[in-house]
Amino acid sequence: MRKAGIILAAGSSQRMGEPKVNLPLIDGITMGAVVLQRAIASELDFIVVVVRPDDPLTWVSTAEKQKVYMSVCHEARGGMSYSLREGISSVKEKGADCAMILLADQPLIQQAHINQLIACFKSSPDLDYVAAKDHDELKPPILFSRTMFNFLMQLKGDEGARKLLRSSSFQGIGISFESDMFLDADTKEELAVIKQKLSQESKLVHSHSDDLYQDQDT
């Protein structure tokens, strides 16, 4: 089973006023890079990153460019559906059996979240999708079976996958995660909250590492 990831990074960032993927979050790492690194580290087999034609890609390192496929969406200004269709078209060509939609402005999504959705899909391969759930609402990341690819390709304008998830024609399940995971940076205030939470996460990781070293010394 070839598991693809599609990172949607072609948004206009109108509310933020500048490209969100280039915003530094912690230790000089940009928002787009955080999401990309976690996707690369997950059990996804390959990653397609959908970007705007004018994106200089300064947020993607040379090493990361060798691990992912960059797909330019020339009609990104037309709405979310164009980016989705660009990504799905790319993973179809590469023989994906399923594809996970990830948003480049949700840096609190963890590698473990991605892997949990994959594990659920593996255990129930007849499902059309497995989605993350915030209370009662299904949200990205969402893993779609190839049975959904043609339907995703039919979306228009600013339609997202939510239209399909609300349909009774498809069989899927949602896995509940903590609401913090779904925070996206549409405003400076939301960005500040995300930075704070990433800082706390980093401190916990370093603290855990220190404990391991202490255990080894004893």
- Give Cα separations from 160 to 51, 103, 126, 140, 207 (angstroms): 17, 12, 23, 10, 40
Find the distance separating the first CA and the last CA of the chain, reported in whole Å. 44
84, two tokens: 């989705």
CB count, 10 Å around CB of 205?
10
* pLDDT, tens only, 113-151: 999 999 999 999 899 999 999 999 999 999 999 999 999
* pLDDT, tens only, 7-45: 999 987 766 767 889 999 988 899 999 999 999 999 999
Alpha helical stretches, state H, the chain: 31-41, 62-65, 80-93, 111-123, 149-152, 162-165, 188-217
For residues 68 and 90, what is the distance between their CA atoms, to the nearest angstrom?
Answer: 12
Q: Report the amino acid identity of residue 213.
A: Y
* pLDDT class of 203 with cuts at 50, 70, 90: low
For residues 66 and 148, what is the distance between their CA atoms, to the nearest angstrom?
Answer: 28
173, β-bridge pairs: 130
Global pTM?
0.89
> What is the predicted pLDDT for the residue at 12?
73
